[in-house]
Structure 1
Amino acid sequence: MPFIETEDIQRGENVYLNYQDYGEGQPVILIHGWPLSHKMWENQVQAIVDAGFRCIAYDRRGFGDSDRPWLNYDYTSLAQDLRGLIEHLDLRHCVLVGFSMGGGEVVRYLSMFGDDRVDKAVLISSIIPLVKKTDNNPNGVPEDKLDEIMEALKTKRVTFLAEFSKQFYNYSDNKDKVSEEQLRYDWAITSAASPRATIETAKAWANTDFRPELRNVTVPTLIIHGEDDQIVPIETSSDQSSKEIRNNKYIQIKDAPHGLFLTHKEELNTALIDFLKS
């Protein structure tokens, strides 16, 4: 499997990231959600390559087959990793596609490096702009609920992840679309991730406020969110970011859960490919 070496800017160490690179044409970079790996994009990679694009999917540090450093799981380090991938492959005119937590990498990347190598962006089920409930974000997730998640990750991680997968897909409503085998497959991916990375990246998506950075997203942007997302409710995320990102197209998918890349893959893929070709 191919790897790229990216420098850890805070410690001067090198981190190796696993990536997959298929097809030819304009590069589309897929940034996976928490706590999965690049394997979540199985149904999108085929559609993107078939549509005539080059598709690159990689594992975030600490996940999949990438290196597992002890420190530096903040969004600045993660955006630097993305920059390392783009520079290593000398990619130009990229489309950055971030799912859930991955939306933060898209916004932080554009804040740090601008759009010299990026033509478009896509935010799918994204945590942008702020997860946590604050005085000026009253509809966010209460801090005590986030503390419960962190404690569960420390004390019963593999059990928590099994239940999380069901909520990810609104499983009770989508048993015709999500098999028990799929849940076991996801659990195998998530439970195999670095325990340290799982917790530290959760702290990053739970506490990072991207509201001041949304003005840095100047490229054409597609925002897609499921109306029935129980992990990242649409009202606290994409409804807000769609009002602040200037040049965006906003699509809400009826009845779709957080994991719409599987349950509503046809609708997602159609919207994504149409945007790539526009």
Structure 2
Amino acid sequence: MGYYICVETGVNIYVEDINREGRRTILFVHGWPANHRMFEYQFAALGRQGYRCIGLDTRGFGNSDKPAHGYSYDRMADDIRAVVEALQLQDITLGGHSTGGGVAIRYMARHNGYGVAKLALFAAAAPSLIQRPYFPYGLQRQAVEQIIAATHNDRPQMLRDFGNMFFFQHVTEALADWFFQMGLQAANWATAAVAESWLDEEELFTDLGKINVPTLILHGIHDRVCRFPLAEAQHQGIAGSRLVPFEESGHGLFYDQRDKFNEELARFVAE
């Protein structure tokens, strides 16, 4: 079932709600530049196991409204709060991929984990996607600036280039095009604005220490977008967290090793 939730005046977020009668709920926050459909292999498998799976399209992406503003981690975390309140969700597992993982971390810190019993991070863009003087493990700032420039100049080619570094396992041309089409659904300005937020966002370093729920970290060791040392930093910064390396995965670990991914996530939710 799909529907819209108003998160602020004039801005509606699209939500796909699978198996509403499920015994436990997982709220998925997708990564840049995709939408909720990137988790369709999780919705299918986990839905069959009796879980309620909710996927939202963050503002500017997928079927959600595409305003000119509101692409900071704070605002996107506030959008999650609006969804949680509107659906009256309690004791859920909040799962986020890439930028969605960073936004999920911000949600936990900014909203004190409202409604969340467990946190799952999938190749999360945290504590920093880019290299900083005190954190040399991310992408070079120049690489992100080139992504932003390419978004403004030739977004389809930028999306093709990004797709080429997303998966570690071989994917068919059809699947690569499926991922490409998700990126095209986003607004140009939203795609660029979220990428610009990667350059400015530094508070995730302190946000990690504010997380006080069981946390699962799934991360591919061949990730070329959010490199594996980011996962190690998350593990170090979140007390009691569990890190599971994916030996045959890149950034798209939910597809590269989807059976392992689904098994690890289902086990964590059921614990």
Same-fold status (TM-score > 0.5): yes
- AA in 1 matched with 2:270: K
TM-score (norm 1): 0.93
- AA in 1 matched with 2:215: T
Is the aligned partner of 1:14 residue 2:14? no
Q: Which runs of 5 or more structure 2 residues have no equivalent in the other structure?
A: none
Report the aligned-residue RMSD: 1.2
Alpha-carbon distance between aligned partners in 1 of 2:198 and 2:131, rounded to the nearest angstrom: 13
Is the aligned partner of 1:135 residue 2:133? yes
Q: Aligned match of 1:147 in 145, 152, 155?
A: 145
- AA in 2 matched with 1:38: H
Percent identical: 29
Alpha-carbon distance between aligned partners in 2 of 1:180 and 1:33, rounded to the nearest angstrom: 21
- AA in 2 matched with 1:165: G
Alpha-carbon distance between aligned partners in 1 of 2:114 and 2:140, rounded to the nearest angstrom: 38
Q: Spell out the pairing of 1:67-106 with structure 2 (5 A cutoff).
A: 67-106=65-104
Equivalence for 2:62: 64
Question: Number of aligned pairs?
Answer: 267
Q: Spell out the pairing of 1:199-210 with structure 2 (5 A cutoff).
A: 199-209=192-202, 210=204
Question: Shift in Å at residue 92 of structure 1?
Answer: 0.6
Higher mean C-alpha deviation, range 73-82 or range 44-53: 44-53
Alpha-carbon distance between aligned partners in 1 of 2:32 and 2:270, rounded to the nearest angstrom: 28
Residues 192-237 of structure 1 deviation map (CA, whole Å, 9 limit, x = unaligned): 21000000011123431210111111100000000111111102x1
Higher mean C-alpha deviation, range 31-40 or range 20-29: 20-29
Question: Shift in Å at residue 267 of structure 1?
Answer: 0.8
Equivalence for 1:189: 182
Equivalence for 1:28: 26
Equivalence for 2:4: 3
Residues 103-130 of structure 1 deviation map (CA, whole Å, 9 limit, x = unaligned): 1111111111113411000000111111
Alpha-carbon distance between aligned partners in 2 of 1:206 and 1:158, rounded to the nearest angstrom: 22
Equivalence for 1:10: none
Q: Aligned match of 1:217 in 211, 214, 222?
A: 211
* Contact 1:131 1:207 (8 Å CA) reproduced: no
Q: Aligned match of 1:230 in 224, 229, 233?
A: 224
Residues 73-101 of structure 1 deviation map (CA, whole Å, 9 limit, x = unaligned): 00111001100100000111011000011
Alpha-carbon distance between aligned partners in 2 of 1:144 and 1:179, rounded to the nearest angstrom: 30
Question: Shift in Å at residue 14 of structure 1?
Answer: 3.1
* Contact 1:169 1:259 (8 Å CA) reproduced: yes
* Contact 2:26 2:54 (8 Å CA) reproduced: yes
Is the aligned partner of 1:250 residue 2:263? no
TM-score (norm 2): 0.95
Residues 48-67 of structure 1 deviation map (CA, whole Å, 9 limit, x = unaligned): 22222211101000000100
- AA in 1 matched with 2:253: L
Q: Aligned match of 1:43 in 25, 29, 41?
A: 41
